[in-house]
Chain A
Amino acid sequence: DAFSENLPTKALQELDRPKLQLLALSSVGIGLTYFLVWRRKAKKSIPLGDGWWGHGQQTLRDDNKIYPFKVETSEDEINDLHRRIDQMRYTEPLEDCGFQYGFNSNYLQKVVSYWRNQFDWKKQVAKLNEYPHFKTNIEGLDVHFVHVRAPHRPGQKVLPLMLVHGWPGSFFEFYKILPLLTDTKDDLAFEVICPSIPGYGFSEAPHKQGFCSLDAARIFLKLMERLGFNKFYLQGGDWGSLITTNMAQMKPQCVSGLHLNMLAVTKGGVGMLLSLIIGPYLPFLVGFTREDVRRLFPYFEKNVYDLLMESGYMHIQGTKPDTAGCGLNDSPVGLAAYILEKFSTWTDRKNRDLEDGDLEKKYSLDDLLTNVMIYWTTRSIIPSMRFYKENFKTNPQNRVDARTGIFVPMGHAAFPNELMHCPLPWARWRFKDIRSYSYMPRGGHFAAFEEPRLLAEDFVKFVRKVEGKKR
């Protein structure tokens, strides 16, 4: 009616000039304040910190040079390996136990026989050297990485990308996906950096206590900076997922996009509990899809019981890494059993019931043993295990990165046989800008190694979405 229509105008008309100016100014002021506060809140990041991990006291300044590196081997190294394999003391497995008690001893003998008689380490070293390797000293440690440039093609946009591995993997897991990302025929290609986490493979191990994922993230950020990259993409699974997430939290302005194939649910709380109770019956109410329900439930069995069955390694490595790795550093067969058990079980949990763990269904023994050799020849099994203890020292739920959100564009490829499934509504608690969430048709924990094509396709799809929105 006439009264309400005219109220604002009438009110304004009643104000004299100074009051009108005050109103205008304060509106702008409030608007500006709100905008700034909102922007600062949106760009929340975690502190960078600093560290030094070399021997003794830090004396010299960081040597910033980048040195080319070649993987090498020798007759001595190979003979020593053979001698140790020959010295294996076999223990008979229980009858009909498959992989339920760990790596089956009978099948292990077959793997070991291949390793001793057919595996050609010199050939594998040449394969490793097909891509250029480098080392550079950061925070007192020699950090190793592989740097693969895209061949120059006219009209092609090349984006920088860092791929970070996990445990018990290595940069070698990415060798199948590298050509799919760097050597493409279409308008988009990537220049890829694959570093080794300090303590793993050819990266020097920290000499001081306390080296956790935050430190690895900071070192990798320094690496990208040293290589001249201001903005880049990140991809990772396992520890790589946590490290790349930390990188995006430390310097969100540098990260164009974050693609992960594994998501660990940290802060659950009431929301998670509610969705677990209601989810199986009314999934849509809590934002679950039918696929989510299929992967998550029965919850207790899949996520609690199964996780307990599979996390013994994590428990011992997170408390007594030096003890756990000691025997593995003298016994290549022990090391292979320890590492390859994961490649069997984490690819598909059903493999536990099989005599051979179905290990060679998705992987070749050559590839699997090359990964094991990286741990063997560099003696890095103990430092690689220490990473678990360093990350669990403080309650992971209370660490600064667990309490901070992630605001860079994120994409998740949810593989069906991954160790744990994280539905989209749960991922949204921490990742504030999810651009792509895909249910992958097949594959497990070692996604890049097992299904490189699927992972590459999803990653590129994610990048296109991010790049598309930019324009």
Chain B
Amino acid sequence: MLLEVLLALVLGAVVLLVLRRSKAAVLKTEDGWWGAGSPPAGAEDESIRPFRVETSREEIEDLQRRIDQTRPVPSLEDSQFNYGFNSTYLQKVAAYWRNEFNWSKQVDKLNQYPHFKTKIEGIDVHYVHVKPKNLPEGRTAVPLIMVHGWPGSFYEFYGILPLLTEPANADDVAFEVICPSIPGYGFSEAPRKKGAWTRLGVPQARAAGVAIANMRLCSGRPGFNSVCAARVFLKLMRRLGFGRFYAQGGDWGWQITTNMAQLDPTAVKGLHINFAPVENVGPLVILSILLGRRFPGLFGFTELDVKRLYPRVEKMLVEPLKETGYFHIQATKPDTAGRGLNDSPVGLAAYILEKFSTWTDHEFRNLEDGGLERKFSLEDLLTNVMIYWTTGSITSSMRFYKENFAKGFYPPHARIPVTVPTGVAAFPNELMHTPKLWAKQKNHKLKTYTTMARGGHFAAMEEPGLMAQDIQKFIKVVEGKK
């Protein structure tokens, strides 16, 4: 009798598991048009045009004039970076920017790699295309797309590009890298269309099959969100002649490359991510949160996992609340939030660089200078800021948050797993820590999971060597298996 019951239970569990797996649908999407007005009749211009970053004396003088016009407000005594960017240190950064930073020189640095633009779905998409210079006979470069996040840019990858395209080690893979700019960021044109949502009452929502669990009961066409960006980047890779390629990303880059793998699993050979927040909190994750401290071995929790996740309330509620104010205002009122930052370069720098401080290490909040120059040079940091400043793209970059959270925190792609080989590089100071068990819930083909020695959110910029090493490790596992 007992044996039969046990057998039935096991069978039931297997059936459930199989059913769950088979529900793993492919992410669907529709085409879009993001240019001004209506799409023109006829085929889209698919030409690829070379692009050079340029500047002018007017641009630099205007910047310097605005920096001179800054009206600083002293920070509270002994507040360091706890109230945001410290005023005293900000004056130092502004002085450097005004007197020593050489934008012309940085523009030359940006142009050391070839840039291009091409029109996709009505908007100009910018990207950098880097091919290895010295490829040995008979070897082909492996195509790789690397996607940035907010408040970063393609420039974050300039440190790691040489390590990937000209690896020192003979048996390392040499990559051909595409670094696009997300539409609305930097040199990529911003989408002109918003999401068209109609609000539904509960009975209408039920009839339309919209999940009530979604915070916003609505139906309609989404605005330019990560799935749209993924679709655009898939088109880009196809246009460039890459049938199969690898993808790498952190922050929004993680979301977009994940969506690419969900939209077209055959095109994405492998997915390497350095950011992997849990979107779909299932029973296993909840169980591990409840019991993980007492029984870490049961869930495969390492020492780092326990340190980063507990005490629960502080690490999973209070800390995120302290750091997500920008997220909240950008996801609701991006045009208001970005308005002042587009006129005040110092305000823009404070807003962006605060993240480069706090997201590299939370402890930096207690330092007078936010520890900013410990891991980055002011030159590199301000070059990234200049990309937002000279293109006036801060507001459109913020709109991306609103478009992605229009349907609440539980959009369709959050429920669909990733079925391409995935590698996770877990940096110890990343904003949200994801233990291996949690990463496996979403990424069903997790090939590598590495606890990195050091580094925070802007991993590619902060620790390019470590990141390149892990990408090589991941590629070898995926290619080796073939």
Contacts and interface: CB of A to CB of B under 8 A. Distances in A.
B76 A318 contact: no
Nearest to B344: A330
A321 B329 CA distance: 13
Contacts of B338: 91
B336 A329 contact: no
B85 interface: yes
Q: Chain A interface secondary structure, helix, strand, loop or mixed?
A: helix
A329 B325 contact: no
A200 interface: no
B350 A316 contact: no
A92 interface: yes
A144 interface: no
A315 interface: yes
Interface in B137-177: none
B400 to A, nearest CB: 12
A327 interface: yes
B344 A322 contact: no
Given A319-B323, A320-B83, A334-B339, A327 B351 contact: yes
A312 B331 contact: yes
Nearest to B197: A100
Contacts of B216: 305
B150 to A, nearest CB: 15
Contact of A103 (B74, B331, B339, B392): B339
Interface in B309-330: 321-326, 328-330
Given A320-B325, A341-B336, A379-B71, A333 B84 contact: no
A108 B341 CA distance: 15
B342 A91 contact: yes
Given A305-B216, A331-B340, A337-B340, A312 B333 contact: yes
Interface in A62-104: 80, 84, 87-89, 91-97, 100-104
A46 B36 CA distance: 60
B335 A333 contact: no
Given A87-B66, A312-B329, A321-B84, A328 B396 contact: no
B78 interface: yes
B335 A102 contact: yes
A206 B335 CA distance: 31
A51 to B, nearest CB: 14
Interface in A313-350: 313, 315-331, 333-335, 337-338, 341
Interface residues of B, number: 62
* Chain A, interface residues (CB within 8 Å), range: 35 or more
Given A89-B342, A330-B347, A379-B73, A94 B194 contact: yes
A329 B350 CA distance: 12
Contact of B192 (A95, A104, A305, A321): A95
Contacts of B202: 298
Given A91-B338, A96-B194, A208 B83 contact: no
A337 B351 contact: no
A389 interface: yes
A36 B250 CA distance: 66
A372 B74 CA distance: 21
A327 B350 contact: yes
B351 A323 contact: yes
A78 to B, nearest CB: 15
A105 interface: yes
B337 interface: yes
Contacts of B48: none
B442 interface: no
B79 interface: yes
Interface string B348-365: 101100100000000000
Interface string A356-382: 000000000000000000000001001
Q: Which 7 A-B pairs have the closest CB atoms?
A: A334-B340, A327-B347, A102-B336, A323-B84, A316-B325, A312-B329, A322-B84
13 contacts: A91-B342, A101-B402, A103-B335, A103-B336, A209-B76, A316-B329, A321-B83, A323-B350, A326-B350, A328-B344, A331-B339, A331-B344, A337-B335
Interface of A: 80, 84, 87-89, 91-97, 100-105, 108, 206-209, 298, 305, 308-313, 315-331, 333-335, 337-338, 341, 379, 382-383, 386, 389
